[in-house]
């Protein structure tokens, strides 16, 4: 990965530790030993401790009552809830954006992204790169939506939900790419994007809200599909943190 020699030990430790957890090098339920991390990352206990506190607030590790931390495990229900919650928050963002009666100028960014997505989805055969582009543009769409809501409080809350990697808008796109009906799902998702933009342009707050919520149900559907196939589930970011009942 890209080194950040300028960054402080604390920041580097946080990033590296987060990656260790997300890449599954630390298993769910496993105690995260401070000394162990110290040896692995070559920093002192102090930055490790700060990073662990931050990761606990993020929800990636849990605080043991006796002291210390363990890597958190997430059930299918947890992921479904996180996706639903993201949908609700994006609904609030879309509704606020719609009710602010934004000017053409303010909406240009969102229109451009929707336009780019249109061009992408219109293609017949989609390559792996196309899906990467889709994920990037999709993330941009959701980011712009949040920005247009103009609410730091909402932004902060959303950022916390998205710190669970499988709750992010693009989390299940790579799974979806493997499905025979993958292009159809993209067409539907893009129709949602267009409709949300239309609702915002016309000041239709409630419609924007409901569309954003419905949009998140696509991710939920992809989750349901993934659960039936471990290989697909492994394509999801942070897959190692997922613990299914059956497993």
- Rule CB under 8 A: is residue 35 a binding residue for a copy of itself? no
189 lies in the site for a copy of itself, by CB under 8 A:
no
Distance CA 136, CA 147 (A): 16
Q: Which does 89 bind (CB under 5 to 8 A by kind): DNA, a copy of itself, none?
A: a copy of itself
Distance CA 216, CA 213 (A): 5
Identify the residue among 161, 177, 196, 208 touching a copy of itself (CB under 8 A): 161
Shorter beta-carbon distance to DNA: residue 68 or 143:
68
3-state secondary structure 213-232: HHHHHHHHHHHHHHHCCHHH
Rg (CA), the chain: 20
What is the sign of the dihedral through the CA atoms of 30, 32, 36 and 42? positive
Rounded distance between C-alpha atoms, residue 242 and residue 244, angstroms = 6
Which range in 32-40, 79-87, 177-185, 186-194 contacts a copy of itself by CB under 8 A?
A: 79-87
Taking CB under 7 A as the rule, which mask of x and - marks residues 12-51 in contact with DNA? -------------------xxxxxx------xxxxx-x--
- The residue count for the chain: 247
- Could you give the string, one character per residue 46-85, with x where binding to DNA holds by CB under 7 A and - elsewhere? xx-x--------------x-xxxx----------------
Q: How far is the CB of 133 from a copy of itself (least distance, A)?
A: 30
């Amino acid at each position: 990965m890209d080194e950040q020699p300028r960054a402080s030990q604390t920041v580097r430790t946080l990033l590296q530790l987060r990656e260790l957890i997300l890449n599954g090098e630390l298993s769910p339920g496993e105690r995260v030993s401070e000394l162990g991390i110290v040896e692995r990352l070559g920093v002192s206990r102090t930055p490790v401790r700060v990073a662990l506190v931050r990761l606990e607030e993020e929800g990636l590790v849990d605080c043991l009552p006796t002291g210390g931390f363990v890597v958190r495990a997430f059930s299918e229900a947890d992921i479904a809830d996180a996706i639903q919650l993201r949908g609700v928050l994006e609904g609030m963002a879309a509704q606020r954006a719609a009710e602010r009666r934004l000017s053409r100028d303010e909406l240009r960014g969102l229109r451009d992204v929707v336009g780019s997505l249109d061009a992408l989805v219109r293609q017949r055969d989609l390559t792996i790169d196309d899906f990467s582009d889709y994920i990037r543009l999709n993330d941009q769409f959701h980011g712009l939506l949040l920005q247009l809501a103009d609410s730091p409080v909402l932004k902060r809350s959303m950022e916390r939900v998205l710190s669970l990697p499988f709750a992010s808008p693009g989390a299940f796109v790579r799974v979806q790419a493997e499905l025979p009906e993958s292009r159809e799902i993209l067409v539907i998702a893009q129709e949602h994007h267009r409709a949300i933009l239309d609702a915002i342009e016309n000041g239709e707050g409630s419609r924007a809200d409901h569309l954003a919520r419905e949009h998140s149900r696509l991710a939920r559907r992809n989750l349901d599909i993934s659960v039936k196939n471990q290989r697909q589930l492994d394509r999801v970011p942070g897959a190692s943190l997922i613990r299914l009942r059956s497993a």
